[in-house]
Amino acid sequence: LSTAAAALSLITLSTFLGYSNPLNAMQILFINILMDGPPSQSLGVDPVDPAVMRRPPRKKNEPIITKQLLYRVLFSAAMIVLGTLCVYYIALGDDHVSRREQTMTFTCFVLLDLVSAVQNRGLGCGLFQNKMLVLTVSVSFVVQLALVYVPFMQAIFQTEALSSRDMITLLILTVISFVLHEGRRRFERSMDADTTYSAVMEELA
């Protein structure tokens, strides 16, 4: 959900702000089908949280899309959109979008999307506990590098090789996004612990 919301928001905001389209059709297709699919599906095989039985049961009238889930989606989408727009604005030298600028935007979106996938794992799941998630994110990262640096892939996705300085800039932004997501996870864990404690005390009362 966060990837689709981010892609739609990015294009809408770019149009509203008078910028050229930051992503071409092939790049959008790659993000929605090949990049977002495997990492997102890997979240379904998170290890079982040992604390799950200590949590209160869901209410029968509770919606599938809870406030917490909606908050996660909006937070993740905002991280992707703001980071990508920031890179696009900085890289954009004039009104004409060059391959370098579009490649930086595309790569930034993908990297932030991968961070979103990793940081939306279960709150009780460690960084390397879900081996399938680690594998799919690693493969997706390598594939993205291939799209940027392999000549025949460059022709298909209209990308060009980024300089080491460009990649360092993108990686720094990725780390910042990772840290902000980690802060969000810590907040959610504290809220989850408070909810569990309240439920246990109610049962003992």
pLDDT tens track for 87-116: 887 777 656 678 888 899 999 999 999 988
Spatial separation of the C-alpha atoms in residues 46 and 56, rounded to whole Å: 20
pLDDT digits (tens, 9 = 90+) for 11-55: 888 888 777 788 888 998 888 877 667 777 776 666 666 655 566
Using CA atoms, how far apart are residues 70 and 76, in angstroms rounded to an integer? 10
Amino acid 57: pLDDT: 67
Its pTM stands at: 0.81
pLDDT tens digits along 160-204: 999 999 999 999 999 999 999 888 888 887 776 544 434 433 443
More confident residue, 104 or 128: 104
**pLDDT value of position 25:** 87
pLDDT, residue 199, reads 42
Residue 10 is predicted with a pLDDT of 83
Per-residue pLDDT, 11? 83
Q: What are 54-81's pLDDT values in tens digits?
A: 666 667 676 666 777 788 888 888 888 8
* pLDDT for the residue numbered 202: 43
CATH of 2-204, one of 3.20.20.140, 1.10.357.10, 1.20.1110.10, 3.40.50.410: 1.20.1110.10
